[in-house]
């Protein structure tokens, strides 16, 4: 089974059971299972609780970015799509993986790219917000060395995420 086939099988099970609530935004079992499958392709398989926490973190950051009116243009989305298309169009492992993915999902390339637009948009909005947090940290610490910036930023980011989590009702229905 390719990962595309496994995700396709998850997609076919319309499991809308809620595994977490962030404000009024639901994270469904289907979304959770998809992320779990994607993580399983890597070397470090997180626990179910860690996956839920990561999904909550992504949603909290996204919601805050929207509150702060952070947006992306169609042009930015299309540019990101084109960059991804360029990567998978080159001969090699990425192209093979991509072909296997869409074949496993039983969709066309066009369908795949159309489906990617929303996740690219959300990812870019989160990315812009994270960059804003980095800029804030640099302003607060103008003399910070690059060598210590990453650890300082990680702390700053985690504090911000925890602060945001405390301002919104979060319920987890999976342990």
Q: DSSP labels for the chain?
A: --HHHHHHHHHHS----EEEEETTEEEEHHHHHHHHHHHHTSSS---HHHHHHHHHHHHHHHHHHHHTT----HHHHHHHHHHHHHHHHSTTHHHHHHHHHHHHHT--HHHHHHHHHHHHHHHHHHHHHHHHHHHHHHHH-TT--HHHHHHHHHHHHHHHHHHHHTTS-EEE---
User: Across the chain, what does the average pLDDT equal?
Assistant: 87
Where residue 2 falls among pLDDT bands split at 50, 70, 90? low
Residue 85 is encoded by which pair of tokens? 């298309």
More confident residue, 93 or 111: 111
pLDDT for residue 6: 63
Could you read off the pLDDT of 50-89 as tens digits, one per residue? 999 999 999 999 999 999 999 999 999 999 999 988 888 8
Average pLDDT over residues 87-95: 81
Q: Among the listed ranges 39-43, 116-120, 131-135, which one has the minimum average pLDDT value?
A: 39-43
Where residue 1 falls among pLDDT bands split at 50, 70, 90? very low
CA dihedral over 131, 164, 59, 70, signed as positive or negative: negative
Could you read off the pLDDT of 6-35 as tens digits, one per residue? 665 666 566 678 999 999 999 988 888 888
Where residue 94 falls among pLDDT bands split at 50, 70, 90? confident
More confident residue, 137 or 106: 137
pLDDT at 5 over 70: no
């Amino acid at each position: 089974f390719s990962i595309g086939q496994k995700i396709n099988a998850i997609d076919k099970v319309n499991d809308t059971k809620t595994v977490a609530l962030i404000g009024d935004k639901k994270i469904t079992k289907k979304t959770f299972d998809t992320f779990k499958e994607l993580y399983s392709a890597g070397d470090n398989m997180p626990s179910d609780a860690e996956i839920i926490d990561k999904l909550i973190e992504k949603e909290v950051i996204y919601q805050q970015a929207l509150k702060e009116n952070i947006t992306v243009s169609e042009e930015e989305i299309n540019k990101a799509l084109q960059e991804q298309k360029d990567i998978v169009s080159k001969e090699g492992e990425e192209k093979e993986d991509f072909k296997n993915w869409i074949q496993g999902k039983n969709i066309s390339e066009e369908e795949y790219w159309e489906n990617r637009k929303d996740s690219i948009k959300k990812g870019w909005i989160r990315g812009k917000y994270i960059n804003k947090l980095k800029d804030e940290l640099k302003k607060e610490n103008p003399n910070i060395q690059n060598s210590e910036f990453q650890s300082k930023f990680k702390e700053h980011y985690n504090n911000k995420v925890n602060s945001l989590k405390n301002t919104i009702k979060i319920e987890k229905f999976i342990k």
